[in-house]
Structures are given as structure tokens and as C-alpha cells.
Amino acid sequence: MMDNATTSAFAAPHDRCEGKLNLIGLDLSELTVVLSAQGLEKFRARQVWSWIYCRGVREFRLMTTLAKPIREMLAAHFTLERPTVSLYQQSEDGTQKWLVKMTDSHEVECVHIPEQDRGALCVSSQVGCTMTCRFCHTGTQRLVRNLSASEIVAQVMLARDYLKDWPEPGQDKDVRTGGKPGYNDEDDSTRALTNIVMMGMGEPLYNYENVSKALRIIMNSEGIAIGKRRITLSTSGVVPMIKRCGEELGVNLAISLHAVTDELRDQIVPLNRKYPIKELLQACRDYPGVSNARRITFEYIMLKGINDSVADAKQLMRLLRDIPAKINLIPFNPWPSAPFECSEWSTIVKFSDILNAGGYASPIRTPRGRDIMAACGQLKSASQKLSAVDRAEIDRLIAEKEAAQGLKS
């Protein structure tokens, strides 16, 4: 019999459903320990792992390579339950959004953005965000907690369920290699979900332990198998964690830069008061594995009259001159009571032309899913949307959060 200490060592309290431990989010060695506590041999853990992450089964009775009594034992002690979906929306452009409710009723949003030959899932790392970037709806959310590794991986599982993106036998490696089931990271022509962007709600580097554990599970080539080159982690600039992220995970890095002077960045990305632009850019230069073939993406939100001048564009190029960089211009996505407007389209194009002439690829990010409030920076759980539309209240909240983080200048 497994004692509670064995299971609680690996999981947050909300990773239980009706007293049963959710196996989603355990890494293979933890799964092995948990199952061996139930008397199962090591190779059984690999079999269960494969059913969970290659096939996406949601019920133990479907794990047909296991004897019936083992399946019954698993069902008695464990669960593969996905979080509940409180709201599901589909945009006219094909973008899908799930408002995902965790077992403790906290909610996060998760967005699938399909493209011609691929599809990215925008995954949340926290309920809300402790950062208070002035242009971001998530930053105005009162409630904040870290998501567990289980809850992060579960977003991918759930999206795959909805997208019917689990391979059928015969559609995957079974055929191509005669080997193990599941997708193959090199050949994903049949997948709906090929890329992961950690750009949903929350600051992933403020929940590094859980994010890194979840990403390792997602990257595991014997499971979901989305490789590090297909994963991008976006940060507002938690400098001390950037190196670790590169060394341990090796995923693509995106930096939410948004301003070219500390004076402005201090205001719109308050974390800058702790880690100013110079330190942030040095961490980028030092990012393990960065090269011209693997550039860092700098995200730059276009705010009318704030950061969108010709001088800003030129200064941006000067700042990035010795960093293998690409620049992503993001038209500001509005939300109720937001204190900014999006730059004029002609201004964005002009800004982009200057960068292009300076040798930077600087695509303008087409907003996706705006009609369902699924675009960058619009995410905020529905229950909170109703309450926090008052600007004064938002300002009060931001002041509170900044004080809590010691960011008040």
C-alpha cells in the first residue's frame, strides 16, 4: 500500500482529485517510485507513461497492455483527470481558447493558434501574475498562485484532447519505425499542436521549478515529444533565472523588452526597477546556446505615442547590435480600461521598415483571437474580468502588488 508520504512528496495538494493522486505531471522517476509503492515493476511505469503521454488515454481500463487487476488497482488509487473547462471559445480565425478550472477552482487561460503547417499552444504558468506591466490585463488580476507541474502539463493534454491530436495506432511511430507509439519530434506533419509558447498568464521564471519540470515532461521523446527548439519561453526579464533556463532547458528565449530606456521601462514593466535593461541584455548575450541560428526574440509592444517613434526604433537597434536577435512587433491588444492605445498601423509599418533596413527581421505579430479576448495580454480569468474594470481600482491593485515586491521607487 502506498503511504501518503510517497505521493505527497511529488504533488501539490490540488493535484489530487477525490483523494486520488493525478499521475499527470509526475516525471518518469517519480512515476516509477509511486507505482513501485503499489508493487509494480519498473517496466510497468514505462508502459503507463506511454499510455498517458503517447496515447493520451484518460482511463486506466484502456491500458490494454496491463493485466485487468493492475488496471483496477491503478483506477482505485490514481487519476488522469484533466482540469474542467469553464468556458470554451473559438475565434473566427480558428484560434481556440479554454478557460481551465483547477481542482481548487482557480482558473487560467490556454490558447491554441493554428497556422498553415503548425499550431502553437500558449500555456499559462501562474494564476494571474505578480508583475504589474501596465499594458497587460493579466497583471491586473488580484488572485495569484503558481501552477503546479501537473497543471501546466494538463493544459497540453487537454488541448490535445480537444484538438483530437492523440495519434491513433498506425498513424505514428508504430508504422514508421515499427517501434514505440506516439509522435516523433522530427516528423510532425500530422500534428495539430507542434509548438509550445510559455506566453499565457503568469511570469514563467517566477515559477521556474514547476515550469521546468513540466517542460521536461513535454519534451520527453518517449512521450509528448515536443522538442526544445519548438518551445519558447517568454519572460519580462527575471535576470537571475535566465541562465539556468538556458542551461537546463535549452528552450528558445523571448524577452518582453517593450522600451529602450530604463526611464520608460521602469514605468511600463516595473520589474525593470530590479533588473534594468543593461543587466537584462547582458543575460541575453550570455544565454547558453544563443547563436545566429538560434536567436533571441525581443518582443516589442506598439503603444501609441509612448514607445513608437523613429528614435525608439533606432535606439532599439543600437541596444541589440551585438546580440543575435529577432524583433517581434506586437500591436497593443486592448482590454477594458486599459490606459494605452495601439499605435497607428502606418507607424508600426514605419517602425518595422526602419528595423528591416537595419538588417533585423521584425515581423509584426498578427493579433489572433482578438474577438474572443485570446490575444497576447488579454488573458484574465472570466470571474475576475467582471470585477476589475475600474481604472482607479486597477491602479490601487498595481500599487499593492509593487509594494509587496519591493518595486516601489
Asked if 214 touches ligand SAH (CB under 6 A), the answer is: no
Task: In angstroms, give the least distance from the CB of 244 to ligand SAH.
Answer: 16
Selected binder of ligand SAH within 296, 327, 376, 394 (CB under 6 A):
376
Asked if 275 touches ligand SAH (CB under 6 A), the answer is: no
Residues in region 193-232 near ligand SF4 by CB under 6 A: 202-203
| 342 included as an active-site residue | no
Residues in region 135-164 near ligand SAH by CB under 6 A: 135-136
In sequence order, the β-bridge partners of residue 96 are 90, 112
Asked if 32 touches ligand SAH (CB under 6 A), the answer is: no
The per-residue DSSP string of 356-389 comes to: HHTT---PBPPP-SGGGT-STT----HHHHTT--
> Active-site residue among 30, 133, 376, 402?
376
Burial class (CB within 10 angstroms; exposed 0-12, middle 13-18, buried 19+) of 227: middle
Question: How far is it, in rounded angstroms, from Cα 299 to Cα 181?
Answer: 37
In sequence order, the β-bridge partners of residue 121 are 112, 196
Asked if 299 touches ligand SAH (CB under 6 A), the answer is: yes
CB 2: neighbour CB atoms within 10 A?
16
Binding region for ligand SF4 (CB under 6 A) out of 6-14, 26-34, 134-142, 146-154: 134-142
| 402 included as an active-site residue | no
Selected binder of ligand SF4 within 23, 133, 233, 260 (CB under 6 A):
133
Backbone dihedral region for residue 342 (phi beyond 0: left; psi -120 to 50: alpha; all else: beta) = beta
Asked if 234 touches ligand SAH (CB under 6 A), the answer is: yes
Residues in region 77-136 near ligand SAH by CB under 6 A: 133, 135-136
The per-residue DSSP string of 59-70 comes to: -GGG-TTS-HHH
Closest to 189 measured CA to CA, from 216, 209, 205, 171: 171
> Please, what sign has the CA dihedral across residues 135, 140, 145, 150?
negative
Residues in region 242-271 near ligand SF4 by CB under 6 A: 256
Amino acid letter, residue 316: L
Binding region for ligand SAH (CB under 6 A) out of 72-80, 161-169, 326-334, 391-399: 326-334
Asked if 129 touches ligand SF4 (CB under 6 A), the answer is: yes
The per-residue DSSP string of 218-261 comes to: HH-TTTT---GGGEEEEES--HHHHHHHHHHT--EEEEE---SS
Question: How far is it, in rounded angstroms, from Cα 281 to Cα 112?
Answer: 30
> Active-site residue among 109, 151, 299, 402?
109
| Residue 299 near which of ligand SAH, ligand SF4, none (CB within 5-8 Å, type-dependent) | ligand SAH
Binding region for ligand SF4 (CB under 6 A) out of 7-15, 133-141, 259-267, 312-320: 133-141
Asked if 236 touches ligand SF4 (CB under 6 A), the answer is: yes
The set of residues, in sequence order, having a beta carbon less than 8 Å from that of 321 and lying 6+ positions away, is: none
Binding region for ligand SF4 (CB under 6 A) out of 126-134, 149-157, 189-197, 242-250: 126-134
Selected binder of ligand SF4 within 103, 138, 195, 307 (CB under 6 A):
138
Question: In angstroms, how far is the first alpha carbon of the chain from the final one?
Answer: 55
Task: In angstroms, give the least distance from the CB of 200 to ligand SF4.
Answer: 8
CB of 127 closer than 8 Å to CB of 137: no
Asked if 330 touches ligand SAH (CB under 6 A), the answer is: yes
Asked if 308 touches ligand SAH (CB under 6 A), the answer is: no
Question: How far is it, in rounded angstroms, from Cα 261 to Cα 32?
Answer: 50
Q: Which residues bind ligand SF4 (CB under 6 A)?
A: 129, 131, 133, 136, 138-139, 202-203, 236, 256
Active site residues: 109, 376
Question: Which stretches of the chain bind ligand SAH, using CB under 6 A?
Answer: 133, 135-136, 199, 203, 234-236, 256, 299, 301, 330, 332-333, 376-377
